[in-house]
Amino acid sequence: MRGAFITLEGSEGVGKSTQLATVGAALESAGRTVVRTREPGGTPLAEAIRGLLLGDCPEGMEADTELLLMFAARNQHLAQLIRPALARGEWVVCDRFTDATYAYQGAGRGIDTDRVRRLEAFVQRGMQPDLTLLLDAPVEVGMERAARRKQTGDRFEREARGFFERVRAGYLERARAQPERFRLVDAAQPLAAVSAQVRTVVADFVARWESDCG
């Protein structure tokens, strides 16, 4: 039986890495074999592309170049890691996926949504997450947390507040448009409360998955 594909989304400082560990542990406790990964990245080549995307670029990076690099990394990630793992019956938990592209490159950078959608169709061929947890917090909360975590952020983390307001709005719009896939998690809560909410969402999803597949 095919495994499930779960993604975690959200802007900077909302705790995706922490909650990815929470999701993985909850799934393993439920008897699932879990593959943890991230985007951009997940394979050696995709990680190399991640370095280009997050690192400083003296000549500057065009928004369309950024978009194409994101999907180049995603194509490799899907082919080499995600699709094979799901076919083996493993559950894949990924820190960001295509919703991040709609939020960051679409809403944040202002790239036309149709352009993103065409690349999505070409690269993914219908592949979508089965569940997406959107960790949401006010922009000022996320930026404050991110600033405490690192002295100097990556190229995205150094963007101005207006950029992150657009990113958050883009994420929330995606969640409203696809309520059957998204689960909104209040990431402004204390860590223990966020983790508890995430575990509840995962437990409900596992039960529904077993019912649908049984």
C-beta of residue 207 within 8 angstroms of C-beta of residue 199: no
> DSSP letter at 186?
E
Amino acid at 208: R
> DSSP letter at 78?
I
17 annotated to bind ligand: yes
59 annotated to bind ligand: no
Helices (H), 35-180: 44-54, 63-77, 83-87, 98-101, 113-124, 139-149, 161-177
14 annotated to bind ligand: yes
23 annotated to bind ligand: no
13 annotated to bind ligand: yes
Q: What H or E segment, with its residue span, contains residue 207?
A: helix 191-213
211 annotated to bind ligand: no
29 annotated to bind ligand: no
C-beta of residue 92 within 8 angstroms of C-beta of residue 7: no
24 annotated to bind ligand: no
Binding annotation for ATP: 10-17
Binding annotation: 10-17
